[in-house]
A and B are shown apart, each in its own frame.
Chain A
Amino acid sequence: MTFIGLALGVFCIGLYGVLVRRDTVAVLASVEVMLGAATVMLVGLSATSTLPAGGADPSVTGAVGLVIIVLAAAEASIGLALLLAVSRRMKTARLDEMQEVNG
């Protein structure tokens, strides 16, 4: 069950990056790290699952892990494209400077 600890650690690292980094590209990379943690969890579960009959099919959870990898690639390209557009418009790539709402 060590993979759970691994996934948890990777997730927290990603979350930490999302929360503290001011550079938008770095935040996006941290999101990817979090997605990686989710993938580790899925793959690990599919390998060690001892669910009784009627539970989730292990091969299906493994396949979902593969889907996430593909999605993450697509998401990264869209995210970077959006980021490019936003940074051109706002003339900055720093997240804390991209504010239009004032509470």
Chain B
Amino acid sequence: MADVILDNIGLVVALPFIIAPLVWLAGRISRALVPVVALLAPLSVLAAGVSAVLKTGSFEGYTGVYLTPPVAEGSFRWLLGTEQAITMGWTIDGLTAIMLVVVGLVASMVVIFSIGYMAEDSGYSRYFALLALFTGSMTVLVVADGLVGLFVGWELVGACSYLLIGFWYTKPAAAAAAIKAFITTRVGDVGLLLGIGVLWQTVGRLSYTDVFAAVESMSPAMITLVALLLFVGAMGKSAQFPLHIWLPEAMEGPTPVSALIHAATMVAAGVFLVARVWPLFEASADARLVVLIVGAFTALAAATIALAQTDIKKVLAYSTISQLGFMFAALGAGAWVAAVFHLATHAGFKALLFLGSGSVIHGTGTQDMREMGGLRKQMPVTAGTWIVGSLALAGVPLFSGFFSKDEIIHGVLVASPIAGAALVFASLLTAFYIARATRMTFFGEYRGTHHPHEGGWSMKLPLLVLAVPAAFAGFAGERIAELLGEHAEALDPTTAAISIAVALAGVALGWYVYRDGAVAESDMEARFPRMWPTLRAAYRFDPAVTAVVVRPTLAASSWLYESIDRGVIDPLAEGVGGIARRVGSGVARVQYGDAQWYVSLIGAGVVLVLAIAVVDWATLWQRILTIVGVG
């Protein structure tokens, strides 16, 4: 079975793209059929991922450029007929296998969850078709054997993200958020594209094999340049400071989409990219330093912002930015196995938390935690699984997040004590804000006006399934390290002690401060009259970006429009058109419907052609000259 799937991996990649339009067609036959067809896409990806994990052999004695001996490879030539045709293909090694499992599992659960969550929506089949399309795009991104294929997938997931954030496109905020997400990530994409361009210029080939082989012969400055340009792309996609501004607003999309795209898979693509081209970063200490600084700063700053959010999805959004910062800090510190490990565990528990928040929003009709409270009585399944997810996020021992975060903190502390301290403090804040969110949402008395209720089986099942990796994925650390071609490191007792102390302290503090739920929130507002609103407004970074970047850009473009477009290009274009029109109406006057006039013209034409072709003008001219007496 596993062999069959891996031998036809090209088909698995193509399948979601075939399924996406079929989902849409299925919507015309029967509404019930739509999610069934859509589910085939993530399930096939999951099957490929599981097969790859099972088949991936030991890295011992393997000398190729990949992490583990690839279990499937294939390629085809693209852009034939150009001077340098590009080879595109797929390679599945341990890292790809992990990503496939993550994408397949989370996407399957999100599709099932959406059956209940989107049941009433009029865009039902469009929604599921887009989910299938996204799954395929993400698969292209992770299985690509070079930067060209990766870039194709990279842009496709960006487009799907745009379409799904703006899914409720009649809502102005959603449409604006979609555009903001697309343009902000596009700023990063320019960096990625430039990095690929520089590689193309210096190496001439873009498959990972060729690029990694060329690292040795490249100058250190060039490697740093390429690594930093690629990292700019990763910053945009993974919402790292200062390109993080799009992710909180992306929460305008349907909540299951936030779980899939903006928590588990697409935003982790930046981490995947850096891990994938790790040999480049390994060769450049400067680039790693930049990654470490950006990651640690983002992890800490976003965690502080998450403290004061009242929208449950915004808490999770800033938490995601912060956790991605943890992963980048790990990459910058060289602990890239820990980063990928955390990517996998985070995908599980953050998708769980997002789906839990979706269930809460579905049951209460609000996203404001001040209007929630006491929901554990009405929504026991959601509450139970949410608590599992939040314990994992807080890094409480034995839950998945503990193991991966501990490895990260250990790796970063070794590389840079300052960055390590920042991450430890961010962990404390993480435990605090998730305890706060849990207590405000699920404990105390219900403060809203709705009648909260649990969703149907389709919403409960994914929560229960995702609670399993959220709780136990930490024990897969050894296998994940093996898949990445390394031996697992033993838990460092000092770091573990620090992590445990920090996690428990944060949870206890948050739990204690928010014992009164929303009352505590207004209490915090009163106690920190300056800091709390600043945090809630995310340090007012957004208005600053608007003033410094957006307004000047808009002013410059409207100036260009008025002066260059209206002043120069329009008259030119209209002038050319005017000439054609005038010539045309002049010539049209000849054709006024008189058949004899037409025949006369034809006759004149024949005479002219004969005069040119038959008469020997040179000889004739000579004769005339002779007759006249000049020659």
- Asked whether, in the complex, the Cβ of A19 is within 8 Å of the Cβ of B596, the reply is yes
Among residues of B, the one whose C-beta sits closest to the C-beta of A24 is B595
Q: Is A33 an interface residue (CB 8 A)?
A: no
- Asked whether, in the complex, the Cβ of A103 is within 8 Å of the Cβ of B603, the reply is no
Q: Is B574 an interface residue (CB 8 A)?
A: no
- Asked whether, in the complex, the Cβ of B595 is within 8 Å of the Cβ of A103, the reply is no
- Asked whether, in the complex, the Cβ of A103 is within 8 Å of the Cβ of B592, the reply is yes
Most chain A C-beta atoms within 10 Å of own C-beta, residue among B590, B592, B595, B599: B595
Q: Is A4 an interface residue (CB 8 A)?
A: no
Interface set, chain A 1-54, CB cutoff 8 A to B: 15, 18-20, 27
Write the nearest CB–CB distance from B512 to chain A, whole angstroms: 92
Partner of A19, one of B588, B589, B592, B603: B603
Q: Is B217 an interface residue (CB 8 A)?
A: no
Among residues of B, the one whose C-beta sits closest to the C-beta of A100 is B593
Bound-state Cα–Cα, A102 to B593, Å: 6
- Asked whether, in the complex, the Cβ of B596 is within 8 Å of the Cβ of A101, the reply is no
| Given contacts A18-B599, A19-B600, A96 and B592 within 8 Å (CB-CB) | no
Write the nearest CB–CB distance from B605 to chain A, whole angstroms: 13
Bound-state Cα–Cα, A2 to B322, Å: 105
Q: Is A82 an interface residue (CB 8 A)?
A: no
Q: Is B60 an interface residue (CB 8 A)?
A: no
Q: Which residues of B contact A102 (CB under 8 A)?
A: 592-593
Partner of B588, one of A27, A100, A103: A103
Among residues of B, the one whose C-beta sits closest to the C-beta of A98 is B595
- Asked whether, in the complex, the Cβ of B596 is within 8 Å of the Cβ of A95, the reply is yes
Most chain B C-beta atoms within 10 Å of own C-beta, residue among A20, A27, A101, A103: A103
- Asked whether, in the complex, the Cβ of B593 is within 8 Å of the Cβ of A103, the reply is yes
- Asked whether, in the complex, the Cβ of B600 is within 8 Å of the Cβ of A103, the reply is no
Bound-state Cα–Cα, A77 to B596, Å: 21
Partner of A101, one of B591, B599, B603: B591
- Asked whether, in the complex, the Cβ of A101 is within 8 Å of the Cβ of B600, the reply is no
Q: Which residues of B contact A95 (CB under 8 A)?
A: 594-596
Q: Which residues of B contact A103 (CB under 8 A)?
A: 588-593
Write the nearest CB–CB distance from A95 to chain B, whole angstroms: 6
Interface residue total, chain A, C-beta cutoff 8 A: 12
Among residues of B, the one whose C-beta sits closest to the C-beta of A103 is B592
Q: Which residues of B contact A18 (CB under 8 A)?
A: 596, 599
Binary flags per residue of B419-452, CB closer than 8 Å to A gives 1, else 0 = 0000000000000000000000000000000000
- Asked whether, in the complex, the Cβ of A99 is within 8 Å of the Cβ of B599, the reply is no
Bound-state Cα–Cα, A100 to B592, Å: 9
Write the nearest CB–CB distance from A10 to chain B, whole angstroms: 15
- Asked whether, in the complex, the Cβ of B593 is within 8 Å of the Cβ of A99, the reply is yes
Bound-state Cα–Cα, A101 to B598, Å: 13
Binary flags per residue of B578-604, CB closer than 8 Å to A gives 1, else 0 = 000000000011111111100110010
Q: Which residues of A contact B591 (CB under 8 A)?
A: 101, 103
Among residues of B, the one whose C-beta sits closest to the C-beta of A22 is B596
Q: Which residues of A contact B595 (CB under 8 A)?
A: 95
Interface set, chain A 49-103, CB cutoff 8 A to B: 95-96, 99-103
Q: Which residues of A contact B596 (CB under 8 A)?
A: 18-20, 27, 95-96
Q: Which residues of A contact B590 (CB under 8 A)?
A: 103
Write the nearest CB–CB distance from A92 to chain B, whole angstroms: 14
Among residues of A, the one whose C-beta sits closest to the C-beta of B593 is A101
Bound-state Cα–Cα, A101 to B597, Å: 13
Write the nearest CB–CB distance from A24 to chain B, whole angstroms: 10
Most chain A C-beta atoms within 10 Å of own C-beta, residue among B588, B590, B596: B596
| Given contacts A103-B588, A103-B589, A19 and B594 within 8 Å (CB-CB) | no
Among residues of B, the one whose C-beta sits closest to the C-beta of A18 is B599
Write the nearest CB–CB distance from B581 to chain A, whole angstroms: 15
Partner of B603, one of A15, A27, A99, A100: A15
Write the nearest CB–CB distance from A32 to chain B, whole angstroms: 15
Write the nearest CB–CB distance from A85 to chain B, whole angstroms: 16
Interface set, chain B 543-593, CB cutoff 8 A to A: 588-593
- Asked whether, in the complex, the Cβ of B594 is within 8 Å of the Cβ of A99, the reply is yes
- Asked whether, in the complex, the Cβ of B603 is within 8 Å of the Cβ of A96, the reply is no
Bound-state Cα–Cα, A101 to B590, Å: 11
Bound-state Cα–Cα, A15 to B595, Å: 13
Interface set, chain B 80-101, CB cutoff 8 A to A: none
Q: Which residues of B contact A99 (CB under 8 A)?
A: 592-594
Write the nearest CB–CB distance from B350 to chain A, whole angstroms: 73
Q: Which residues of B contact A19 (CB under 8 A)?
A: 596, 599-600, 603
Among residues of A, the one whose C-beta sits closest to the C-beta of B600 is A19
Among residues of A, the one whose C-beta sits closest to the C-beta of B588 is A103
Among residues of A, the one whose C-beta sits closest to the C-beta of B590 is A103
- Asked whether, in the complex, the Cβ of A96 is within 8 Å of the Cβ of B600, the reply is no
Bound-state Cα–Cα, A103 to B597, Å: 13
Q: Which residues of A contact B603 (CB under 8 A)?
A: 15, 19
Q: Which residues of A contact B592 (CB under 8 A)?
A: 99, 101-103
Write the nearest CB–CB distance from A72 to chain B, whole angstroms: 18
Write the nearest CB–CB distance from A50 to chain B, whole angstroms: 21
Write the nearest CB–CB distance from A33 to chain B, whole angstroms: 14
Among residues of A, the one whose C-beta sits closest to the C-beta of B585 is A103
Q: Which residues of B contact A100 (CB under 8 A)?
A: 593
Bound-state Cα–Cα, A15 to B601, Å: 12
Q: Which residues of B contact A96 (CB under 8 A)?
A: 594, 596
Q: Which residues of A contact B599 (CB under 8 A)?
A: 18-19
Among residues of A, the one whose C-beta sits closest to the C-beta of B589 is A103
> 21 A–B contact pairs at CB < 8 A?
A15-B603, A18-B596, A19-B596, A19-B603, A20-B596, A27-B596, A95-B594, A95-B595, A95-B596, A96-B594, A96-B596, A99-B592, A99-B593, A99-B594, A101-B591, A101-B593, A102-B593, A103-B588, A103-B589, A103-B590, A103-B592
15 extra interface residue pairs, beta carbon distance < 8 Å, beyond A18-B596, A95-B594: A15-B603, A18-B599, A19-B599, A20-B596, A27-B596, A95-B596, A96-B596, A99-B592, A101-B591, A101-B592, A101-B593, A102-B593, A103-B588, A103-B589, A103-B590
Which 3 pairs from chain A and chain B are nearest by CB? A101-B593, A103-B592, A99-B593
